[in-house]
A and B are shown apart, each in its own frame.
Chain A
Amino acid sequence: MPEPLLRIERLTVAFGAVTAVDAVSLDVPPGGAIGLIGPNGAGKTTLLNAISGFVRGDGSVRFDGSELIGIAPDRRAHMGISRTFQQPRMFGDQTLLDHLRVAADHAGGTPLAPEEAVEAVGLQAVLGARCRELSAHDQTLAEIARALVQRPRLLLLDEPAAGLVPSEVDELRVTIAALHERFELATLLIDHNMDVVLGETDHVHVLDFGELIFSGSPDEVRTSQLVIDAYLGEEWEGAPC
C-alpha cells in the first residue's frame, strides 16, 4: 500500500458554535482522482480551505509526510498544493498570460511554461485576453492552467462545472481526465454534477453536516441508500430502480 500523498486525520473546523467539518479522515494517494460530494453546507469547500490553509483546523493534515496544520497558504502552495475556487478568482484586468506569469513567479520549483499550461486546457487562443472578459467556462479552465504552471502534486478543484452548459462540462471532463496522466498529479474534486464526479474519480467521499458519512467507489456511491437519502435523492436518475 503506497503512502498517501495527503492524509487527513480527525480534522475539525469550527466557526464559533458551528462545526463545519467534524473529525473527518481521508486519504488522497499519489496520482489519485478523489471526489468529494455532499449537499450545500456539508463542509466540502471548508475542507478544501483547510487543506490549502485558508481556514484553521484541529486534527492532522499531512502532505507528503509533513504536517500542514499551522503552515501558511503560500508555503503549502510551494510544497505542491494548488487549487481553484468555486467562483473563479481572477486578477481583474490582467491577461491570462499575466496570470500564468504570476503563478510561475511563485512556483515552488521549476514552473511549467505558460504555453504548455494553456495547451493542456485548450486556451491557447486567449492567452493574451483579459481574464475578466473570458466566459465562465474559460475562467474555470484559466484557473486550472494557472494552477498547472506551478506543477502541483495535488490539485484541489472546487466545483469547476458550476454554471457550465453540458457541452462545456464534457470539455471540462476531458481536460480533467487528461491531467492525471499528463502531469502525474492527484486531484480532489468537489462538484454537484454527478456525471463529472462519478465519471472522473476513482474514489468518492460523501460529507453531510460536516461528517464523513460514506466512502467508496463511484459505483458504490451510486447504489448507496445512505448517500441517496442524504444527498442524491430518490429522483436522481442514477439511482437503482
Chain B
Amino acid sequence: MNGRLLGGIVLLGALIVAPQLTSPFWDFVLATAVAYMIAALSINVLLGQAGMIGLFPAAFLGLGGYFAAVIARETGSWLLALGGATLVCLVVGALVGLAGTRLRGMAFGIVTLAFALAMETFAFRHGFLGIDPAFGATLDRPTLLGIDFLGDVAVYYLALAIAVLTWAAVALHERTRPGRTWRALRDDEVAAMSLGARVGRYRIWAAAVSGAVGGVAGVVFLTVQGQTNVESYTTVASLLVFAAAMTAGTRSVAGAVLAGLLVVALPELLTELGISGEIVPLLFAFGVITSLKGHDGIVGGVRHGAAVLGERLRRAGAPGRPPAVEGGAADA
C-alpha cells in the first residue's frame, strides 16, 4: 500500500471518529469546517492541479448556496438543489474561465477577484434571486433515503459523505486526459502547447470544475448553517479561504482538509484558549508568503521533511555501508 493511500485512510478515519471525541459544540464547527474543506478543494483543482489563481471561492460558496435555496424552495428536493446549484456553478465557472484563455498568472487572479467583488456587491447585497440580503438564504437540512440529517452530528456525516464523493470525483478526474493536461499546463504551458494541448479549453474546464466544486461547498455550507447572509460570501472571505488553502497546501486532499480546519476550527480553538481569533488572517498571510517561497504549504513541508528523514534513515540503515572514518577515506 503506498504512503498516500495509507495517509488518506488514516485521515478519513480521523474525520469519521472526530464527532465521537468532541463536545456537541464542535460537531457544528466541524460540519462547517467540512464545507470549507470542499471550498479549499476547489482551489486545489484550480491552482494545485491546473496552476490557475482563483480568488473567488466565497463567491461560488454564495452562488451554490443561493441557487440551492431557490431550487429547494421551488422543488422541495434537496438533491435537486445540490445537483442544480452545482451545474449552475459549473457554467458560471466556465464563463469566468473564458478570461483564462487570454490571461495568465495574477492577471487571471485579478479577474477572479473582480468576479468575487461583483458577486458580493451587485448580487448578494442586492436581492440576488429574490433573496433578501438582510435575511439571507435558507436551506432545510434534508431527509434522504429515510435518514434524517437534522442533528449536527448527522449533518456532519452528510457533509463528510459529500466531501468524500467530491474528493473521489476529483481524484478520478486527475487520472483522465483533462487531469493529466492540467498538470502539464501547470508545470510547463509551452511544452504542453508544443504537444498539441489546446490550452484555452483546458483552462476553461479547470475554472468550470473549480466552480462546480465551490458550488457543492456552498450547498453543504448552507445546509449545515441553515441560514446564511452576505457576510459569509464577501471578497475578504474569498481571500481568507484562498490564503488558508495556500497555507495548508493546494496539491493534496490533506491540504484541503487542513485548510477547512484552519478557516473554521482554528479561530474557535484560539478563542477557547483565550487567544483572539483575529490573528488568524495574519497567520495565513505568513503562510502564503512561506508557501510562495518553498514547498506546497504545511502539508508539502511535512511531506518533504518526512521524505528527507526517511532517506536519512534508509542511508543510515543501509547494509554494507562502510563506517565513516574521521579525517580519512572510509574505503581506504
Q: Which residues of A contact B191 (CB under 8 A)?
A: 85, 89-91
Q: How far is the CA of A102 from the CA of B198 in the complex (A)?
A: 12
Choose one: B177, B183, B196; the contact of A91 (CB below 8 Å): B183
Choose one: B180, B186, B196; the contact of A77 (CB below 8 Å): B196
> Measured between C-beta atoms, what is the minimum distance from B205 to chain A in Å?
14
Q: How far is the CA of A83 from the CA of B193 in the complex (A)?
A: 11
Q: How far is the CA of A75 from the CA of B188 in the complex (A)?
A: 18
B184 within 8 A of A: yes
Q: Which residues of A contact B196 (CB under 8 A)?
A: 74-75, 77-78, 106-108, 150
A103 within 8 A of B: yes
Q: Which residues of B contact A44 (CB under 8 A)?
A: none
> Measured between C-beta atoms, what is the minimum distance from B304 to chain A in Å?
12
B20 within 8 A of A: no
Q: Which residues of B contact A16 (CB under 8 A)?
A: none
Is A146's CB under 8 angstroms from B187's CB? no
Q: How far is the CA of A89 from the CA of B197 in the complex (A)?
A: 15
Could you tell me how many residues of chain A have their Cβ less than 8 Å away from some Cβ of chain B? 27
Q: How far is the CA of A75 from the CA of B194 in the complex (A)?
A: 9
B252 within 8 A of A: no
A82 within 8 A of B: yes
Chain B, interface residues (CB within 8 Å), range: 10 to 19
Is B195's CB under 8 angstroms from A77's CB? yes
Q: How far is the CA of A73 from the CA of B194 in the complex (A)?
A: 6
> Measured between C-beta atoms, what is the minimum distance from B48 to chain A in Å?
12
- Interface hits, A83-113 → B, CB 8 Å: 83, 85, 89-94, 98, 101-103, 105-108
A140 within 8 A of B: no
Is A77's CB under 8 angstroms from B194's CB? yes
Q: Which residues of B contact A106 (CB under 8 A)?
A: 181, 195-198
Choose one: A78, A91, A98, A105; the contact of B188 (CB below 8 Å): A91
Q: With A74-B199, A98-B180, A101-B180 known to touch, is A92 a contact of B188 (CB < 8 Å)?
A: yes
Q: Which residues of B contact A187 (CB under 8 A)?
A: none
Q: With A98-B180, A102-B181, A105-B181 known to touch, is A90 a contact of B187 (CB < 8 Å)?
A: yes
Q: How far is the CA of A29 from the CA of B184 in the complex (A)?
A: 32
Contacts A91-B184, A91-B188 known; 7 new A-B pairs at CB < 8 A? A54-B194, A74-B197, A77-B193, A77-B195, A85-B194, A94-B183, A102-B184
Give 27 CB contacts A-B under 8 Å: A54-B190, A54-B194, A72-B193, A73-B193, A74-B193, A74-B196, A74-B197, A74-B198, A75-B196, A82-B194, A85-B191, A90-B187, A90-B188, A91-B188, A91-B192, A98-B180, A98-B183, A102-B197, A103-B195, A105-B177, A105-B181, A106-B181, A106-B195, A106-B197, A106-B198, A108-B196, A146-B195
What are the 6 tightest A-B residue pairs by CB atom distance, in nearest-first order?
A77-B196, A92-B187, A106-B196, A89-B191, A91-B187, A105-B177
